[in-house]
Amino acid sequence: MATPSTATAATAAARRIGRLLLPLLLQPLLLAGCGREPEWSVRTLSDPGLPRQSSEALARCAAQLRLPPELARPADPSNYGSRQPRDLFGRMVPHRPQLIVLHETVISAADTVRLFATPHPRDEDQASYHLLVDRSGRRLRIVPDAARAFGAGMAAFGEFSVRIRPTSLGSLNNVALHLSLESPADGRGDADSHSGYTPAQYRVTAAQVLLWQAAHGIPLNRLTTHAAVDRSRSRYDPRSFRWERFEPAYRQAARICGFGAYDTGRAN
């Protein structure tokens, strides 16, 4: 049986939790009930009409490409979330993977894994990718594809972004798959460029992009970079990425797996 002091403490804790949760639970109802109209329209991307391959076909492709298994390096739950199916007005918003965004770490792969595994209670400190490809070509799994990684906060693909809250300017995380390349030692700073990525990184990145396309029906012209989608004008990654090295590796992978339908040309 609880003592009076522990019972009082439990009651106080429950009240504190209630005060925190109640506004979150009531906000959509308050917005709808007061007759307030949304200040923005829901944006969508057109259906590219590409097939989604079965898990068996994807596994066969990965085996044909001789991709090693992913290595689990999970992020702390504070550093990722759920893909949101509705905005605060209750409207359906895009929430399935439709874009692939390339990044680079700027720090070592080991330091990146430690950073994402560290709890970050403040929103401004939270970050993650779905996959990290290290210098040797290993695939490090950070966040499940079904979850929302925090890879590109204030971002847009052309005019498209997903806005959930009135205070948001729009993001792509609700529909993006984020892949990051480990930077070389001379790229761990603010220089405009560096010595580049390894052949293993290009080969594995091309294969992973193809597998994601085939799993979710994503055309190649929805493969982009953090630099291209960032609205803050402060992100330039992946610096020194060479499309002329990526494209031959990608086309070879598509030919081996018979997935040429996804090669729609890269985004402008």
15 has pLDDT over 70:
no
User: Is residue 37 very low, low, confident or very high in pLDDT (cuts 50, 70, 90)?
Assistant: confident
For 52-262, CATH gives 3.40.80.10
Average pLDDT, the chain: 89
Mean pLDDT on 153-168: 93
C-alpha distance from residue 220 to each of 55, 80, 81, 105, 251 (Å): 20, 25, 26, 23, 11
Residue 254 or residue 191, greater confidence:
254
Alpha helices by DSSP H, listed for 103-225, are 109-117, 199-216
- Break the chain into its structural domains and give their ranges: 1-36, 52-262
Q: What is the pLDDT of residue 17?
A: 43
Count Cβ neighbours within 10 Å for each residue of 81-100 and write b for 16 or more, e otherwise.
Answer: bebbeebbbeeebbbebbbb
Q: Is the dihedral of CA 81, 87, 91, 97 positive or negative?
A: negative
Neighbours of 48 (CB within 10 A): 16
pLDDT in tens, 225-243: 999 999 987 888 999 999 9
Count Cβ neighbours within 10 Å for each residue of 224-239 and write b for 16 or more, e otherwise.
Answer: bbbbebbbeeebebbb
